Structure 1
Amino acid sequence: MTKGEPRPFDFREIAALDDTAILLRDWVAKSSSFFSEFWDEMTGFSAQLSMGIVSTESYGKALEAVSKESLYTVADFEGQMSMLLYADASEYQVIVSEVLGIDRPEGDRDLSPVEQSLAEMFITELGDALCEGWMGAQKINIETSPIAKDPRKTRLYRSKDLMTQTMIEVTLKEGKAKLNLLMPKQPTCDLLDTLVDSRSAVESAKPSERLIASLPIDVTAVVGTAKIPMLDLTSLQPGQLIKLDQRIDQPIIAYVDDRPFYKCWPGRSGNTQSIEISCCLDERANGEVQ
């Protein structure tokens, strides 16, 4: 084919643009925060889930390029469908090395029993995060099988069955790990269609109490203020003192969203400055004690 000559359109490429791909990306993006919470508890670092390119391929064709040394697990969606997750051992070593706090081993080798146990724990928590991030009205449950070698041996579907093929990328502090996914195309579309149906049936979605409770709110404690002539301001030098309008025997005011909210006393906790709440303020009473 010469340069500039039109090429036949591969209809499998449109899979990356259809509703299924969009809903899958939204699902993984929402699940990422739940997985990051688990990862932070395990390692002290955050993690992020993202989805790669989405395409359509037959089951047999998709597995032709997979190495027999690859590791796989089967995720069952409450009997509705099964999803095949597979990756090289080196991808799992990125994950377990961060859990153990050690450098990633060099060269290709099998997972040790301890590493495989940690990898299976990771897969279980990934499934739990996907359950938490599910955007449908009804909850789903995902059960994962133990990790085994050579996904080509699986007989989940017929060789000619069309599959949705994609990848979940796990971004960690020390690197990235990639897990390949194969999902039956029609059952996946049917499952994701329930999201569209539930969204259209609900007029307005209410945020979860867990989400509301985790929203950050700025609290600002004002030690005091001062008015300085411009001439004096330009001549200030390090070491000079500025007298504030706040007496040391009176509590300072802490503001929430620019509104006076607490009376408090300044202090410290370890090496960190802190405040001790003295009383709450009722803004409707113009700053008087509630």
Structure 2
Amino acid sequence: PEKLSKEQIRGLQIIQQGVAGSLAASFSGRLRAPVEARLSALERGIYEEYVAQVGTSSIVVIIDMSPLQGYAVAAFGVDVAFGIIDRLLGGRGKRNAKALNRELTDIELALVRHIGMDVARSLIDPWQRVTELTPDVTELALGTQVLHVVPPSEFVITAWYEVRFAEQTGGISLCFPLTILEQILPRLSGQSIFENRPTRGANKDTRVQEGHLRPMEVGIRAFLGSARVPASDLASLQPGDVIVLDQEAEDALRVMVGNCERFAGFPGTSGRRMALQLTGVVDDDGWVKPFEESAS
């Protein structure tokens, strides 16, 4: 059965998109280098499935979500950890293939704990929309030995992030059990999210004259949806197989202008070509406003 409404899932997505921005800012400051982070997926499932996806070659961080009762779980690959460690120790942040097959030293574990704290603190500002958090790292380990903090059959929401730095890409996940989410569900409605969103002041220094923008060409893409498929299933795909996406059939497609999500619309045809009829604007919080509302 569905544990969260569609509106509550969308509220969580808005918060986790904010977490991606906080992760990028936090890692950029620590590494003194540009870091990009984006929310690649928000999935519903049970904790046992999440543990299986994390595997034994990941750094696992247990986060106390105080004052909420319960723990969140963060995980990132050893390759990501060694890339960050290399940068912190004066390197270029490149992966060392030989290092991936050995245990972390005490110094490396201490540095990884700082990374875990960065992940935990990245929750504070985005989650202010629904509650004040003072998260703290209570456990950190390589592998799944600390993943016992949540019952295997517990319903969870998992946010998957793609992080890029030093010409490499890695993944970070954040898993939230239903026992935590139940404490904030009434505040996850669209109205509450809008009421508590941070204000953004206009920055005159970053404005570009309209005359400079008009000659530019910008790529536009529409996404049908996404899916996470085990590698074993990918290897056995056959013509005619069906992959179920996270997008519902009646939902509008999101339209990217450059790298920004800006419009929503429905697919169709125009003559002999595929086409998209735009129906609304995506605001800064990720909500779709029909053109009639956005114009008012």
- Structure 2 counterpart of 1:114, from 78, 92, 107: 107
Pair 1:176–1:217, CA change in 2 (3 A)? same
Question: Residues of 1 paired with 2:198 and 2:163: CA distance?
Answer: 29
In our comparison, the structure showing a higher alpha carbon Rg is 1
- What do you get for the CA RMSD once the two structures are aligned? 3.4
Tell me whether 1:67 sits opposite 2:55 in the alignment: yes
Pair 1:145–1:174, CA change in 2 (3 A)? farther
After superposition, give the CA deviation of every residue in 1:129-153 in whole Å (9 maximum; x if it has no partner): 2202224264211111242133255
Are 2:11 and 2:193, in contact at CA under 8 Å, matched by a contact in 1? no
Query: The residue matched to 1:182 in structure 2 has which SS?
Result: strand
Are 1:66 and 1:152, in contact at CA under 8 Å, matched by a contact in 2? no
Query: Which letter does structure 2 place at the counterpart of 1:25?
Result: Q
Are 2:157 and 2:178, in contact at CA under 8 Å, matched by a contact in 1? yes
C-alpha displacement at 1:192, in angstroms?
A: 4.8
Aligned residue pairs total 203
Unmatched 5+ stretches in structure 2: 209-296
- Structure 1 counterpart of 2:127, from 134, 159, 166: 134
Pair 1:131–1:29, CA change in 2 (3 A)? same
What is the aligned partner in structure 1 of residue 16 from structure 2? 28
Question: Residues of 1 paired with 2:144 and 2:124: CA distance?
Answer: 24
After superposition, give the CA deviation of every residue in 1:208-265 in whole Å (9 maximum; x if it has no partner): xxx54x9352699xxxxxxxxxxxxxxxxxxxxxxxxxxxxxxxxxxxxxxxxxxxxx
Question: Residues of 1 paired with 2:116 and 2:59: CA distance?
Answer: 12
- Structure 2 counterpart of 1:105, from 74, 87, 96: 96
Are 2:7 and 2:189, in contact at CA under 8 Å, matched by a contact in 1? no
Query: The residue matched to 1:52 in structure 2 has which SS?
Result: strand
What is the aligned partner in structure 1 of residue 180 from structure 2? 187
Question: Residues of 2 paired with 1:185 and 1:44: CA distance?
Answer: 36
Question: Residues of 2 paired with 1:164 and 1:22: CA distance?
Answer: 12
C-alpha displacement at 1:127, in angstroms?
A: 1.6
Question: Residues of 1 paired with 2:36 and 2:173: CA distance?
Answer: 16
TM-score, L = length of structure 1: 0.57
Unmatched 5+ stretches in structure 1: 1-10, 221-290
Query: The residue matched to 2:189 in structure 1 has which SS?
Result: helix
TM-score, L = length of structure 2: 0.56
